[in-house]
Structure 1
Amino acid sequence: MTRLSNVVFWIAAVTFSVAMLALAMLACRIIEQALDSKKDFWDIATAIGTCGAVAVALWFGLRQETLRRRDSVVRARLIGAYLTPRLSVLLDAACKTRIILQTPIGELPLTSKYGQAESACRPMGWVIPPDDLAALTPLPRSTAFRLARAIALMNAVASDIPVKGPSFQRLTTFRTALLNGFIASWEEQLDEAIDLMTAVQAELLSVSAGLVRPA
């Protein structure tokens, strides 16, 4: 389909150029007869030729930019379709981690809460390749920027829990209060990440839906 559209484009471009040349020659002929002066004729012909060349160059430039943007949108949709299953894993890990962190202390001791949260959050350590993230920038509603923010928040929590958790194996009153503060911070980051990721996933499913055709 792309090859056919390129052939049609070049046929149209050649036809347009020939038509412009024919019109320019006709206009020059009429002007020459009206002015009855070779010098004025060539001055005007040069001006017309320059304007025509600029018009053709602008047309070709706009056409190439249109093709480039179309290709970038198609690539963004493909990358989105590729990333969607992985984002589902991250979203599931974030939701499970948040549930564990929000479990009351009476139902789940802090030490157990840390251990389960560390295990649940491991998938959130995944980092999206920068090229894939950049490829999503043509998508609407700032999808790439929201995804970058969501991934950054999840990465921060996934790296923070294993570092801070082991120091609270022997809890004191002070350490319990400190760990509760960390948990509240992790919950806040996860809440924002889950909201962003949910919106991103819905957008990616929407834009990539047209790539899947029933057999």
Structure 2
Amino acid sequence: MHNQPPSPDATPDAPVADAVADNWVDRYAPAGLRPYLRLSRADRPIGTWLLLLPCWWGLSLAILFDQAPRWEDLWIFAGCGIGAFLMRGAGCTWNDITDRNIDGMVARTRSRPIPSGAVSVKQALAWMVGQMLLALLILLSFNQAAIAMGVLALLPVAVYPFAKRFTWWPQVFLGLAFNWGAMLAWTAHAGTLHAPAVVLYL
């Protein structure tokens, strides 16, 4: 894969310019792990919450819909939390891989791990795959309908970085990806998809 040379004014171990100053990754994470956590935007947890809350809403609505809470719902609740962190990280890593050459030319993003030279494209790909495999282990603990829903969720995630090249509204694709968990968590509880979950998603 072609990769633009590191930006000359970007320091690999320097904090990312568009990250919150003095975040937990910069303060506490081991130096060798920081670039990867920055790829995953672990220094900015708001994205994980945006992915997780629709999951919890979908699960809660499914329980209210059939009035049949189960002990397995506790695992769905926790699994969605871990999965949201992992898949948000994988999605951000994918975004940075696809945008690496553009990021290197923009002041706000040239200090990100790939354009700064802190992480190579191959290392970023390996990191992304690792996160996805861990998330897959969680997904495989759910029922077949939820597994299928989780696999389909990869479509908007994969398309989003490229949407920025052909539309002024790439956030529409990002919203489709972030809200998908509402349907996934519903099916993880109910075993099938019902209309209220689709309405919640939209």
**TM-score interval, normalised by the smaller of the two chains:** 0.3 to 0.5
| Higher normalized contact order (CA 8 Å, seq sep 6+, divided by chain length) | 2
* TM-score of the two chains, using structure 2 as the length reference: 0.34
Structure number with greater Rg is 1
More helix by share: 1
